Amino acid sequence: MIRGNIWLVLQREYMTRVKRRSFILVTLLTPLAFLMFFIVAGLIFTYQSDEKTRILVKDEPGLLEDGNNQLRRFELYFTDDEKAGFMALLQEGDYEAGLWLPALDTSYGGPYKYEFYSDQPLDIESSSLLSRTLRSRLRAERIATLKIEEDILEQLEIETRLDQRPITESSRNLNEMTGVVAAALGGIMGYIMFFVILLFGVQVMRSVTEEKSNRIVEVIISSVRPFDLMLGKILGSSAVSLTQILIWLILIPASALIVQLMIPMDMSEAEALTQTAQIPEGFENLPLVIEQLGEINWWFIVPLFLFYFVAGFLIYSSLFAAIGAALGDDINEGQSLTIPVVVPIVLAVYIMFQAVREPNSSLAIWSSIFPFFSSIVMPSRLAFEPDSWQIGLSMLVTAGTAVLMIWLAGRIYRVGILMYGKKASFRELAKWIFSRS
Amino acid sequence: MSVLQLSRVRKEFEGHVAVDDVSFEVPKGIIFGLLGPNGAGKTTLIRMITGITQTDRGEIRMNGSIINGVLNRDIGYLPEERGLYRKMTVADQLVYLARLKGLSRKEAVSRLKMWLKKFGMMEWSTNKIDELSKGMQQKIQFIATVVHDPALLILDEPFTGLDPVNTNLIKEEIRKLRERGRSIIFSTHRMEQVEEICEQIVLVHQGRNILSGRVDDIKENNKLNHYVVRFYSEPRDVHSRSFDILEMNGSQWLIKLHEGADTNVVLGEFLAQGARIRHFEEKLPTLNEIFIQTVA
């Protein structure tokens, strides 16, 4: 049960923050920004230039002559001229580029070498399109020349598929996407933690400094214990952050849905895709991913994620609160004091990237136990179902550290908030921790 | 009966003694001055009384029970360093502060309405503090201090930055609160304000209690036998064994009577010298003079 005044402080912190225009804007605009990002990114990726490059082609083997629609971005002009005439035509400047395709070497040894003339380097899209087209033409040409039957060729197309199986019966179904799904989920959770801790931790610091520089703090602490005030603020902020994330969790899918309704996808196209099982490139593994998402033990991950969310938030925001209390009237003075707090957060994110790739490396294991990294690294490993001793030890250490940090921050806070003027040094902070109130 | 008792209170900060062995009592229903120059230890004393900081030694009692280091809802405190949440509305702010003092929301709302009406600020209740003038903000701060109707009010330099109109308004409210049996500790370094409104004082200097008691008694005990005499016509001869003349300012003199000298004798001497007296009054020392004299 939260004591009366902590609850009041929490309420005030929550209500004033939630009612603020900036909160409403950020909460509503972030999903929009995400959507805009996806739409713009989609447009950029599907963008095709309308401008066609005029290319002079000498096609000795006749690879491109049958009016090729894959090469729509080029306007091809064929010539029979020899090299000298070909170069002369190019130099006249009517064409932007020249493509010289020499006769085929019937011994089929080594690569097929062709020449491309241009004063401008060929862009990636064009060069890969060109070599893709030529490769497929050459392949067809060779199949015909060598009189190979298509079904024999198909048999030579060897694919591999990893079938992951558990040793114990009760374990979840695994497939080749297990690791990828777990890593992606871990990365997302780790990132959310990082984002929340940094953004809202700094907000706690600001809110503390604001009370100090407003000079209201002395009025407040004649009614509320400094520790209760600090705790109320931290809990209020964590409630604000949870609210924001919850709203995003609802808004982002909802707005995606709305966009889909407003810009309807051609459903027949989608149906055709599923019927012919022609899943677009890059999405071949989608069914496996969905299967794996269903296999994930959400009852295990979600409560633990919430635990690390709260514990990590408490550890870092109490530190930020202590810094806020140690600052003078100018929050911009705080840079040097925040560095020791921000560095472990950033380090934890780097470790997280490593941890999702190798979740059972000793770096990953020990970082998910070390309390200043655990709240970011452990959530990123949860989908890999780490050993229970690791989770147990990590939770114990993290919870213990959270309590210790709140206590420590409370010690600094109670002295700091009554000190006006300049910011405190680390030496002074250490003194405050052990001083009597 | 006293509402507050301090006995032998001491507080030290990192080797610096801020308050040293201070004792005094604040009787119920009076305006009590806590005096001293800047840095004398007044704020530290107040913070100990309000329970913000703890005493290192000594005892603080309120209505008989020890309150060392306990936040007391029966105290209203207006600190010298005071402020408000700038982005909160007047009403939200006052309700919040009143609820921190233990009032229910309903109670808080009805009390703040009463006070806002009294200060003619009802129409400002939904405005943010940012939108208020400095004088209005100070009135809100005062309301926040008294809204929960505490038995003991502690006002640290309450008139700093107030214009004369608001100063009088607040003074009037302080007097009314006293009439209703509330006790007020009025802390300041400005002695002249104390003489005007305080009945009793304690004077602290370098963390120590150097003088305390009723203002009249203190003045009486520290008087220098100075008298102001004004004449219609001055005496012919001014030599007397009863007094020395300290200042002669036209027809107004400041004299110092010798130890044991009788005012009637002095007056007789003046009359005998043909003086016509317009005014004769004992000049009691100001607290400022007493302070300087005591510290020196």
Inter-chain residue contact A218 with B51, CB threshold 8 Å:
no
Report the residue of B85, B100, B104, B156 to disrupt the A interface, i.e. the one with the largest count of A CBs within 10 Å: B100
| Closest among A179, A339, A358 to A366, alpha carbons compared | A358
**Cβ pairs bridging A and B (under 8 Å):** 65
Q: What is the pLDDT of residue A340?
A: 86
Contacts of B69 in chain A (CB under 8 A): 437
Instruction: Give the tens place of pLDDT for each residue, A162-211.
Output: 776 777 765 556 666 777 788 888 888 888 888 888 888 888 888 888 88
Residue B151 has pLDDT above 60, yes or no: yes
The C-alpha of A214 sits at a distance from chain B's nearest C-alpha, in angstroms, of 5
Of B50, B54, B87, the CB nearest to A437: B54
3-state SS, residue A97: strand
Closest alpha carbon within chain B to A226: B52
Give me the percent of chain A exceeding a pLDDT of 70: 83
Burial class (CB in 10 A: 0-12, 13-18, 19+), B107: middle
pLDDT band of residue A348 (cuts 50, 70, 90) is very high
Contacts of B54 in chain A (CB under 8 A): 436-437
Inter-chain residue contact B83 with A418, CB threshold 8 Å:
no
Contacts of B83 in chain A (CB under 8 A): 214-216, 219
Of A5, A219, A431, the CB nearest to B77: A219
Q: What is the pLDDT of residue B186?
A: 92
Q: What is the pLDDT of residue A273?
A: 44
A218 touches B: beta carbon within 8 Å: yes
Burial class (CB in 10 A: 0-12, 13-18, 19+), A89: middle
Mean pLDDT of chain B: 89
Stronger pLDDT, A84 or A432, i.e. the higher one: A84
Q: What angle do CA A313, A319, A322 make, to 5 degrees?
A: 135
Contacts of B87 in chain A (CB under 8 A): 16, 20
Q: What is the pLDDT of residue A227?
A: 87
Write the CB contacts of A411 (distance below 8 Å, at least 6 apart in sequence): A432, A433, A434
Inter-chain residue contact A225 with B71, CB threshold 8 Å:
yes
Residue A330 has pLDDT above 70, yes or no: no
Inter-chain residue contact A16 with B88, CB threshold 8 Å:
yes
Report the residue of B52, B73, B153 to disrupt the A interface, i.e. the one with the largest count of A CBs within 10 Å: B52
Asked if B182 contacts B75 with a C-beta cutoff of 8 angstroms, the reply is: no
